[in-house]
Structure 1
Amino acid sequence: MISQQYLEELAKYTEQKIAKVVLNGTIEISEFNIKEVDASTVMLQYMVPATAVSEITTIELRDITNEIISTNTVYVPISSDTVLMQTVKVKEVA
């Protein structure tokens, strides 16, 4: 079993690595309203301007060198400026 303290350290490391969100492979968002760790969960909150995209089909988290940390396939229609909250949970899988 992995200790909770180590899971929290991994979450902090992950939060520090995240430099930006890339929507649909092209739209970069590097300003976060919230970017923090709570226990072993990374929480990100960011604004998606309606002028940037009409729908979101993929959300990527990338580091400073543009390497992908995670990718999620989604469907989020955007009809007005939208605030998204995304979480990354670091946990042990048995």
Structure 2
Amino acid sequence: MIPTTYLTELATYTKDKIMKVVVNNTVEITSFYIRQVSDHTVELEYMIPHGSVVTAELIELRSNSDVVVSSNAVYIPITSDTIIKQKMKVSEVTV
């Protein structure tokens, strides 16, 4: 079993890699309302501004060097400034 402290370390490493959100491969968001680790979960909160895209269809979390940390196909109509809350839990998988 992996100790929770190590899972939290891995979550912190992941959080530190995430420097921007890229929506639909075109819109870059670099400011976060929340970018933190709680237990062994990365918590992010950011805004997709109205007018930047009509519909968010792909949300990628990327590093400074544009390496994709996470990629999610979504369907989110952006009819006003839209706050996105995103969580990633680091956990052990047993086989």
Structure 1: stretches of 5+ with no match in the other structure: none
1:74 partner letter: V
RMSD of aligned C-alpha atoms? 0.7
Q: % of aligned pairs identical?
A: 49
Partner in structure 2 of residue 18 of structure 1: 18
Task: Quote the offset at 1:76 in angstroms.
Answer: 0.7
Deviations 1:28-69 (A, max 9, x none): 000001100001000110011111011111110000101111
Stretches of structure 2 that go unaligned for 5 or more consecutive residues are none
TM value normalised by structure 2? 0.96
C-alpha distance in structure 1 between counterparts of 2:75 and 2:55, whole Å = 7
Q: Which amino acid aligns with 2:58?
A: T
Tell me which stretches of 4 or more aligned residues in structure 1 moved more than 3 Å: none
Distance between the aligned counterparts of 1:25 and 1:2, measured in 2?
Answer: 35
Q: How does 1:14-53 map to 2 (within 5 A)?
A: 14-53=14-53
Q: What TM-score results when the alignment is normalised by the length of structure 1?
A: 0.97
**How many matched pairs?**
94
Distance 1:58 1:91 in 2: 24
